[in-house]
Amino acid sequence: MSRRILVTAALPYANGQIHIGHLVEYVQTDIWVRFQKLRGNQCLFFCADDTHGTAIMIRARQEGRSEEEMIAEMKESHLQDFNDFQIEFDNYGSTNSPENKELCNRIWVALRDAGLVSEKDVTQLFDTKEETFLADRFVKGTCPKCGAENQYGDNCEVCGSTYSPGELVNPISTLSGTTPEIRTAPHLFVSIEKLHEFLEEWTQTGNHLQPEVSNYLKKQFLSEPLRDWDVSRPAPYFGFEISDAPGHYWYVWFDAPIGYIASTWEWCKKQDEGLSKYWQSNDTEIHHFIGKDITYFHTLFWPAMLKTAGFNLPTKVHIHGFLTVNGEKMSKSRGTFVNARTYLNHLDPAYFRYFIASKLSNGLDDLDLNLQEFIDKANADLVGKLVNIASRCAKFINGNEMSTPYPDDGGLFNAGAEAGERIAACYENCDYSQAMREIMQLAEVANKYIEDQQPWTLKKDPEKQDELRNVCSIALNLFRQIVIYISPVLPDLATKTGELLSEKLDAWSQASTPLTGNTVNKFTHMMKRIEEEQVQKMIEESREGQEIPEENTAPEWDDSAQPLEDEPMSEECSIDDFVKVDLRVARILEAQHVEGADKLLQLTLSLGGENRRNVFAGIKAAYSPEDLVGRLVVCVANLKPRKMRFGLSEGMVCASGPGGKEVFLLTPDSGAQPGQRVH
């Protein structure tokens, strides 16, 4: 029975270009949507540009044009990038649309009527030159804890401390370069604590979330009262003015997700259908695809808004990790902060789509784009294994028909058909990496068949031309079957294969029946090898490319945004400072992953006797928890405990290395004892 499925991906912010870090999510979502359509389900993919906020307002002002002009230009650019990466939306809207404004008001009234809205005074830094309040990411200054300069207004990237913008020493607005002043203004808040019981049930049951996400929410947020959510900003602000609060505007994070519904509504109007069929019907599944940095909102605030306003709750929120390049965060100085358009100037998007698919599981682990592995995988799998099947056989029956009936292949095609349901289950569960492994195994079988039959040898014998056609018909059917399975990842290859075999490939069921009697058309190259020079040119262009305003490329709500440049060195310390550090031997008693953190492991250390410490260490890329238990390490025992959003960290383990997988814990001699001082 066909399913009706509505799918969304997070809305890209209209103040920056699409880059390869963004594309992980849109490729992941597009693959899932294409798979569902291939299976015969009605699957609709909706997205929109996220267009409101201070950053948009300031940039438009600096460029001397209206916000509307700026966001229209950026939407066109975003759509072109998505289209060229073969990402297809059923509708791509804008959060500045009349549909979104009307829906914001409808949901706001529901929240008001439910008694969930209140008003409180909020103190923020104010830019007197730009005449606007500043979000944390628009303020830089000296860290009040360690004295590191050029730190953002919410946390220090040198010592890791968190603080409020008002605590920064010598704060400077990144918008104007002036010193902001502290001002107080009333803000409107939504309280979701009244929905605590509902949210606990929804997040912990029904398979709406990945298990690690459910556990994370349970431990970190649902174990205590849920905080109120600040949903308004005072003028000036580019956004929708709140209908019953003149001079106040809905915060970008209030109207952005409502854009999911608004984009659906735009499509419904074009199709002459009702919105309720898709957002207020039990017959429609709703699937959100997001990055783990916005988990909190999509799993607590957003369900609370939908529940209060009478809209469908998500059937599933699919959450993925971040993209690193060569084991490190993307960097302009290293040329690994690659815009979508820069990539397209040098490389086929199929390579990226396949590489990401080969790395994506249904968990929250980060993905690393190792550039050498990227080259090797594309050349070995796509060219060497997959396309090679057709290139070796199609030419031998060019212009002629495939064998009828289908020849005896010793059960190869039937075995491939049986693998179809296993591969389909992998796609359904977003375990694309396993699906790619299964598909490439089929490609290896097909290549072995060709090697064993040697059609190039049969071609030389006039009496074996029927056998030649049978061998090539079998090989091309195995190729067609594999291409159907991988078509959600490589739609362009499916199109080319359909042209080769005189048949459109648009249904998963086609992989269950071999093709007979169709004309094989002239083979044209389907995919070329990647040359290292192409990748190097892409890196060079990214390094030399236009300046990207780091603090303005993410909307204000993105508290996880990190600077793209290499981190600065800490300021010098004296020997008197250094001797204060108390280094002790510690034994790791427990080690575990930290839900919601992409780099941290949580360690329980013993410093002898009952002296135990809870420590968070950024060593996840280099060590597995099970390999650490029982190990002796060196711990900074007198480090002031620091409150992190994952809990209290009561020390620090010592390690060295460039980062990523190359981090090496300092290990004392085997005879050392926990608690022993290190000199």
Q: Which segments are annotated as binding site? A: 143, 146, 156, 159, 332
For residue 348, give both structure tokens: 């086929």
- CB contact at 8 A, 8 and 312: no
Residues in the chain: 679
Q: Quote the CA–CA distance of 301 and 254 in Å, as a whole number.
A: 9
Q: Quote the CA–CA distance of 134 and 117 in Å, as a whole number.
A: 23
Q: Quote the CA–CA distance of 137 and 155 in Å, as a whole number.
A: 10
Q: Which residues are annotated as a binding site for ATP?
A: 332
Phi, psi of 280 (to 5 degrees): -140, 35
Furthest-apart CA atoms within the chain: distance in Å = 92
Q: State the Rg of the chain over Cα.
A: 28
For residue 349, give both structure tokens: 């998007």
Distances (CA, A) of 561 to 137, 138, 330, 472: 8, 12, 12, 53
DSSP state of 332: T
Q: Quote the CA–CA distance of 138 and 191 in Å, as a whole number.
A: 26
- CB contact at 8 A, 328 and 336: yes
Distances (CA, A) of 27 to 5, 51, 197, 470, 553: 18, 22, 35, 37, 20
Q: Quote the CA–CA distance of 53 and 51 in Å, as a whole number.
A: 7
Q: Which residues are annotated as a binding site for Zn(2+)?
A: 143, 146, 156, 159
Phi, psi of 240 (to 5 degrees): -95, 125
DSSP string, 579-592: TT--EEEEEEEEEE
For residue 552, give both structure tokens: 């303005």
- CB contact at 8 A, 633 and 586: yes
Q: Quote the CA–CA distance of 157 and 586 in Å, as a whole number.
A: 26
For residue 405, say if its preceding peptide bond is cis, omega within 30 degrees of 0: yes
Q: Quote the CA–CA distance of 247 and 229 in Å, as a whole number.
A: 19
Cβ neighbours of residue 558 closer than 8 Å, sequence gap 6 or more: 13, 137, 293, 294
DSSP state of 165: G
State in Å, rounded, how far the first CA of the chain is from the last one: 70
Amino acid at 351: Y
